[in-house]
Structure 1
């Protein structure tokens, strides 16, 4: 698999190098030189496969012979060794596709665990690797658990202090060992900028074997394509031609993966790009002006991102496929409307959380009579226990994954958004 740097098309690397580097020169994201396509006959056969076999088949279309299909199958089986996504009926024409049944109760488990297996496969010489990543809530836990106790891998996770839920924090800031967590006195965008500065420091990058596990890493992105095929396989055949998927968007990796699934040949009619008040993309799609505002804190904190990295990949895909960006549906939802929607879902017999509620609201508002809608459930409602319970006036039981960590002490460090401080930490800790 060959990939090129979106900021320097002359920089071309193979899949293994892209996974190891994370980012290219000038902090450019890697993107496939070739966009594979499957025909209708192949699609029909792929949809009949079990989740692991199908995911291996999909990923092999991108990775080609760089990793043998036998080894790829083993990696996929290890990475996705948890309960698979579940489709839950909300109304006759709207269902939730729950992606939060992994070890950290979020959709990020798919990408993070697959990336961990890729690092193991690629790192044949057992070189020391430092994974540096920023999280607005769920990435941190997924990455931490995926790489926990992995030999020769050190993980450092940055997150905005006081701007993720208490239970999200408990999931990844209580592990210790090779997992280091740092709360930053600022926003997620501040955390993301620190990661970018670290990657800009060539000497630092080389000396500590720096890599990133954000959705900027191509391995995480490719893994997420797989569950869109699973979603499609669960839809009644008579509904498949009019499928609309609403995606809660933060860094826009999840939507990028869905669009890559469509590019590959999955006939999804339309996507809805769903944001909270951090609505840079909806405003851009409306008026053509890219004008990020200061990030604001919301109850859907994993989407509190004003400068989404993966948007450049989406634009590149639309250009390459000659798709029209005006056909991408979009919308933003305020906290007050999110709260109303959580109550509405509860009255429909479904306990949700803020991110999925935003997607449901926009899907409900935009779905046409002849269409069938899925909205992605990206995190377990228990991760937002206090917020959701206050809104729906009902108790949420904690799953074991959270209950086992709730009373453990936080092991995080704390710094201001100062790159010199972070650099010192990366060198010394």
Structure 2
């Protein structure tokens, strides 16, 4: 698999190098030189496969001969060794596609665990790696658990202090061992900026074997393509031609993966890019001006991102496929509307959480009569227990994954958003 740097098309690397580097020169994202094509006849056969076999088939079309299909199957089976996504009916023509049945109760388990398997497969014996990543809530837990106790891998996770839920924090800041967590006195964008500065320091990068597990890493992105095929396979055949998927968006990796699935042959009619008050992309699509504003804290905290990393990949894909960005549906939802939407969904017999509620709201408002809609359930409601219980006036039971962590002490460090402080930490720890 060959990939090129979006900021320097002359920099081309294979899959293994892209996974290890994370980012290219000038902090450029890697993008496939060639996009595979799945023809309708082949798609019909792929959709009949079980989730692991199908995911292996899809990933092999990107990775080619860098990893044998037999070896890739073993890695995929280990990465996706949890309950597969579920489609839950909400109304006659709207369902929730639940992606939160992994060990950290969020969709990011798919990408993080696959990336961990790829690092394990591609790293040389005794080669040390430092994984540095920023999280707005769910990435941190998924990455921490995916790499926990992995030999020769040190994980450092940055997150905005006081701006993720208590239970999100407990899931990844209580592990210790090779997992180091740092709360930053600032926003997620400040955390993301620190990660980029670290990658820009060539000497530092080489000395500690720096890598990132954010959705900027191509391995995470490819893994997420797989569950869109699973979603499509669960839709009644008569409704597949008019499928619309609403995606809660933060760093826009999830939407990028869905669009990549469409680009290689999955006939999804349309996507809705769903944001909260941090609406840089909806304003850009509406006005044609890229104007990130200061990040606002909301009850859908994993989406509190004003400068989404993956947006350049989406623009590149639209250019490559000669698609029109105006055909991408979009919208933003305030906290107040998110709250009333959660109550609306609850009256329909389903307990949701703020991120999925935003996707449901925009899907319901934009879905046409002849269309069938899926909105992505990206995290378990229990991760936002206090918020959801207050809005719904209804108790939420904690799953075992959270029960075991709730009383564990936090092991996080705390620093200001100063790269020099972070650099010293990276070198010393």
What interval of TM-score do these two structures reach, taking the shorter chain for normalisation?
A: over 0.9
State the partner residue of 1:173.
Answer: 173
Cα distance in 2 for residues equivalent to 1:349 and 1:164: 27
Aligned to 1:290, the other structure's residue is in SS state coil
Cα distance in 2 for residues equivalent to 1:125 and 1:84: 32
Does 2:265 correspond to 1:265?
yes
State the partner residue of 2:126.
Answer: 126
Aligned to 2:87, the other structure's residue is in SS state strand
Aligned to 1:255, the other structure's residue is in SS state helix
State the partner residue of 1:59.
Answer: 59
Question: What is the Cα deviation at residue 126 of structure 1?
Answer: 2.7
Question: What is the Cα deviation at residue 241 of structure 1?
Answer: 0.2
State the partner residue of 1:182.
Answer: 182
Does 2:322 correspond to 1:304?
no
State the partner residue of 1:38.
Answer: 38
Question: What is the Cα deviation at residue 34 of structure 1?
Answer: 0.1
Cα distance in 1 for residues equivalent to 2:309 and 2:147: 23
What does 1:11-90 align with in structure 2 at a 5 Å threshold? 11-90=11-90
Question: What is the Cα deviation at residue 125 of structure 1?
Answer: 2.4
Deviates more, 1:108-117 or 1:125-134: 125-134
Does 2:163 correspond to 1:163?
yes
State the partner residue of 2:381.
Answer: 381
State the partner residue of 2:403.
Answer: 403
Aligned to 1:206, the other structure's residue is in SS state helix
State the partner residue of 2:147.
Answer: 147
Question: What is the Cα deviation at residue 278 of structure 1?
Answer: 0.1
Cα distance in 1 for residues equivalent to 2:130 and 2:71: 24
Question: What is the Cα deviation at residue 363 of structure 1?
Answer: 0.1
Cα distance in 2 for residues equivalent to 1:141 and 1:282: 28
Cα distance in 2 for residues equivalent to 1:22 and 1:369: 42
Cα deviations by residue, 1:229-270 (Å, 9 ceiling, x for unpaired): 000000000000000000000000000000000001000000
Question: What is the Cα deviation at residue 390 of structure 1?
Answer: 0.1
Cα distance in 2 for residues equivalent to 1:287 and 1:178: 45
What does 1:173-322 align with in structure 2 at a 5 Å threshold? 173-322=173-322
Cα distance in 2 for residues equivalent to 1:20 and 1:299: 34
What does 1:311-390 align with in structure 2 at a 5 Å threshold? 311-390=311-390
Cα distance in 2 for residues equivalent to 1:340 and 1:198: 41
Aligned to 2:356, the other structure's residue is in SS state helix
Cα distance in 2 for residues equivalent to 1:124 and 1:375: 40
Unaligned runs of 5+ residues in structure 1 are none
Cα deviations by residue, 1:88-145 (Å, 9 ceiling, x for unpaired): 0000000000000000000000000000000000003230000000000000000000
Aligned to 1:183, the other structure's residue is in SS state strand
State the partner residue of 2:112.
Answer: 112
Cα distance in 1 for residues equivalent to 2:125 and 2:30: 24
Cα deviations by residue, 1:361-412 (Å, 9 ceiling, x for unpaired): 0000000000000000000000000000000000000000000000000000
Could you state the TM-score of these two structures normalised by the residue count of structure 1?
1.00
Alignment root-mean-square deviation, CA:
0.3
Cα deviations by residue, 1:214-240 (Å, 9 ceiling, x for unpaired): 000000000000000000000000000
Question: What is the Cα deviation at residue 53 of structure 1?
Answer: 0.1
Could you state the TM-score of these two structures normalised by the residue count of structure 2?
1.00
Cα distance in 2 for residues equivalent to 1:274 and 1:142: 22
What does 1:95-110 align with in structure 2 at a 5 Å threshold? 95-110=95-110
Aligned to 2:193, the other structure's residue is in SS state helix
State the partner residue of 1:5.
Answer: 5
Cα distance in 2 for residues equivalent to 1:125 and 1:408: 34
Instruction: Extract structure 1 runs of 4+ deviating beyond 4 A.
Output: none
Aligned to 1:64, the other structure's residue is in SS state helix
Question: What is the Cα deviation at residue 36 of structure 1?
Answer: 0.6
Aligned to 2:84, the other structure's residue is in SS state coil
Cα distance in 2 for residues equivalent to 1:414 and 1:206: 25
Aligned to 1:3, the other structure's residue is in SS state strand
Aligned to 2:47, the other structure's residue is in SS state helix
Deviates more, 1:192-201 or 1:120-129: 120-129
